[in-house]
Chains A and B, each alone.
Chain A
Amino acid sequence: MKPAFFQALRNPLWWLLLAALAMLPLGLPSYYLHIATLTLVYVALGSAWNIVGGVGGQISLAHSLFVGTGAMLASAMLLNSGINMWVGLVVAALVSGLMGFLIAVIDFRFKLGHLSFALITLAFAEMGEIIVIGWDYLGGASGLFLPRDKGDFSAFQFGGGEGAFYVMLFLAALSVLVSFAILNLPLGYYLRTIRDNENAARAIGVNIFRNKALAMVISAVLASIIGTAYARYLTFADPYLLSSPVLTIEIVLMATVGGLGRSMGPALGALLLVPLGEILRGKLGGVLPGLHYFVYGGVVVAVILATPRGLLPLIQERFARLRGNAKPEGSVASSGA
């Protein structure tokens, strides 16, 4: 592990930020707490996806498959088989990990290019949604309605709004931490080498399959766990939300706007776009149909045009210039924080 990882962990700023976030439920009204919780869901999902899509450079569109598995399978096991949702979470995470591994095998076996990989994973996501909608055990198109959250921790209940916020805060922090750790581990270097030039990576002895598969499995397991917690928070496991490829598109959008391949990039994207989308809809939704989408789209396009590599690299560059020690970004040598 690179020393930068431990240095960052010892940085009191991160701990202060975490403490400040943990104080939010004390002062936020219910609606804004919901927005904060939703933002953390996307911070967590964006960071999980970033391990494959940002660090590994593989644009996976299959992540709704993992989120959907975590949400729908764990919920179905509870409602249809009476299996505790903690157990469901573990089983769903294992299933998601296995599916992630199989996707990596297909990718390696057929030597898929970037576009082919994106399309294949999109096809898997579509298949996943069709299976969920067509399979009664997983709730079919009606989805699954979970029992009311009474705060029984042993039954994977966290007491509603505030409890869910802390669970999502933990998962978001975990996701960012895992992403940051990978960037500072040999796995992160291998993945970035593969991303930048796969043939060169192979030539210098990097095990392409092992590293890609490992990244995909870690990312899938994380996405699945977040999916289970998200379903518990919503109480209603909606297949059209949790198993839809549109969810992955949203995650990719946020990661791209924030900055791909950096542990805090997707988090920054989610922190900007989720509250923006929610507040725009709240303020403009009743004014003119679709106006909020128009403004949201305009903001996203403007940000991408202004900062094609994402907001975080731009902010880092500005800070580096101010401190007079600009260094190249996005390179293998960068810590990616």
Chain B
Amino acid sequence: MTYRRKPDFAPSRRTLMLGGLATLAMPAIRPSYAQSSTVRVGLIQSMSGSLSAYAQEGQPALDYLVKKINTSGGIKSMGGAKIEMILADDASQPARTAAEARRLITEEKVSMLAGTILSAQMLALTPVLDEVKVPTLSIWAGGSRSDQLFSLGFPYDRGYAQSMHDMVVWLRDKQGMKLKTVVPAYSNYEAGQQTNKFLVEKLKASGFEIIGELPLDTKAQEQTAAMIKLRSLKPDLVMGLVTPRDGLLLHRARYDLNYHDSLFVGGTGGYSDLSLWKDMGPDIGKAVLTRNLFGMTGFAAGAKMASMQAIVKELRDDAKLSIIGQAAIQAAQAVRVIQRALEGAGSPDRAKIHEALGKVTIPPGDADLYIAKPKGLAFGPDRMLTDGSAMFIQWQPNQTQEVVFPSEFAQVAPRTRS
């Protein structure tokens, strides 16, 4: 009698059939597997350093909305995959933004990147994105140099400069204000310089006369000298992109010199940030912010826009956020864009997310459109928002804002010069 040794693995017919069925059933099984999976998003925020105000305000809103998406079923096209945010702090230094991006991509294996990523950080990040090809959403950059990077920020040209230009043309032509001479006064940093370049071109083309220029030293301890120069030039308009700190010093100098002969039109933080009132005090704020001043902003709580008011209410009542400003709303908007990009991609594959990110659109009237864009949210070929427009507000003595422009969101007519 001979015995044939049983092989180590001899699949029976039943095993083979079960195996075959399992293979055939894989596509059906995959969603249930994916349900417990996550999609990793690297979040580069300036949580410390000179630019931390944006991230500090935006991060709680971002956390709240990601949690809300995850508890309400996650990314449905990925079988309910949860969004997992991996937070990194670039300490407000562009070179560190690039380093953190590299870490998140290579060590944390994220599927996409997002974060405050202001313009200088965007430039430093570009070589890394070009090299590693990771789709990225910047919340604030004024431009994009990498085909991987999309931004919700105001473009310098058709965002900041065009909006300021349109506002003063409207004041001159529709509101009958006598406006001819202009002195651009802007924070002397990257975004301020870039915006000013475009703004001056547009103003000249519309018949305004530039009678001087005033780059504000971002390290200055006070701006009295700048205001004395403005007083000597006495332009009809003072315009420019001004940081909150420079705005604070400029308006304080205006109060000290009791100068009210010009109309001040500018953005964004240096004219529209709530912190101005806190930092300069209610008396000075009332004297200068509520008189001959219009501030550019992407968000105002009173704007005639149902979805914006709804998210403000939700962040205040449900998320219990104490500060709901432009940075919080912009961050909330970023989460909705990320959600739609991931839904569109249906996979954590970077190339698919990149493609889906470029196709994200949120039409006017949609509940997920939080920022004031009359034409809705969509990315153009330059990966910036096709509608880069902003709103203009005037301050009330009780520290609230009233939207005056554009008409789609306006609550009241603008105050006359005094």
- On A, residues with C-beta under 8 Å from B are 29-31, 34-35, 38, 133-134, 140-143, 145, 148-149, 160-161, 234-236, 238, 240-241, 278, 281-282, 285-286, 289-290, 292-293
Contacts and interface: CB of A to CB of B under 8 A. Distances in A.
A29 B106 contact: yes
Contacts of A289: 47-48, 52, 56, 89
Contacts of B90: 285
B133 to A, nearest CB: 13
B47 A282 contact: no
Contact of A236 (B43, B105, B127, B215): B127
Interface in B91-114: 91, 93-96, 98-100, 102-103, 105-107
Contact of B95 (A31, A238, A286): A238
A241 B95 contact: yes
B192 A141 contact: yes
A148 B105 CA distance: 20
B86 interface: yes
A143 B103 contact: no
By CB atoms of chain A within 10 A, which of B89, B107, B189 has the most?
B89
B261 interface: no
Leading 7 A-B pairs by shortest Cβ distance? A285-B89, A286-B87, A289-B47, A235-B127, A290-B48, A142-B190, A141-B190
A238 B120 contact: yes
Nearest to A294: B48
Nearest to A130: B217
B193 A236 contact: no
Contact of B124 (A34, A149, A236, A285): A236
Contact of A285 (B47, B119, B126): B47
A38 B99 contact: yes
A148 B94 contact: no
B215 A31 contact: no
A293 B47 CA distance: 12
Q: Is the interface of A mostly helix, strand, loop or mixed?
A: helix
A34 B120 CA distance: 19
Contacts of B145: 145
By CB atoms of chain A within 10 A, which of B47, B105, B194 has the most?
B47
Contacts of B194: 142
What band does the interface of chain B fall in when counting residues whose beta carbon is under 8 Å from A?
Answer: 35 or more
Contacts of B86: 286
A134 B95 contact: no
Interface string B120-137: 100110110011100000
B188 interface: yes
A281 B100 contact: yes
B144 to A, nearest CB: 12
Q: Is the interface of B mostly helix, strand, loop or mixed?
A: helix
Contacts of B124: 234, 236, 238
B319 interface: no
A160 B102 contact: no
B169 interface: no
Given A133-B188, A235-B127, A285 B106 contact: no
Contacts, number: 103
B94 A282 contact: no
B126 A235 contact: yes
A285 B87 contact: yes
Given A134-B215, A241-B94, A285-B100, A145 B89 contact: no
Given A235-B127, A293-B91, 5 more contacts: A29-B107, A31-B106, A149-B127, A286-B87, A289-B48
Given A34-B99, A134-B188, A290-B47, A281 B94 contact: no
A142 B47 contact: no
Contacts of B100: 281-282, 285
B214 interface: no
A161 B215 CA distance: 38
B321 interface: no
Interface in B67-88: 86-88
A240 B94 contact: yes
A259 to B, nearest CB: 26
Contacts of B89: 281, 285-286, 289, 292
A160 B131 contact: yes
Interface string B33-67: 00000000001000110001000100000000000
A31 B103 contact: yes
Nearest to A289: B47
A148 B130 CA distance: 9
B47 A30 contact: no
10 contacts: A30-B132, A34-B99, A234-B98, A235-B127, A236-B126, A241-B94, A281-B88, A285-B88, A285-B91, A286-B47
A71 to B, nearest CB: 12
A140 B193 contact: yes
A293 B48 contact: yes
Given A31-B106, A141-B192, A145-B145, A281 B126 contact: no
A290 B47 CA distance: 7
B95 A282 contact: no
Contacts of A234: 95, 98, 124, 127
A62 B105 CA distance: 36
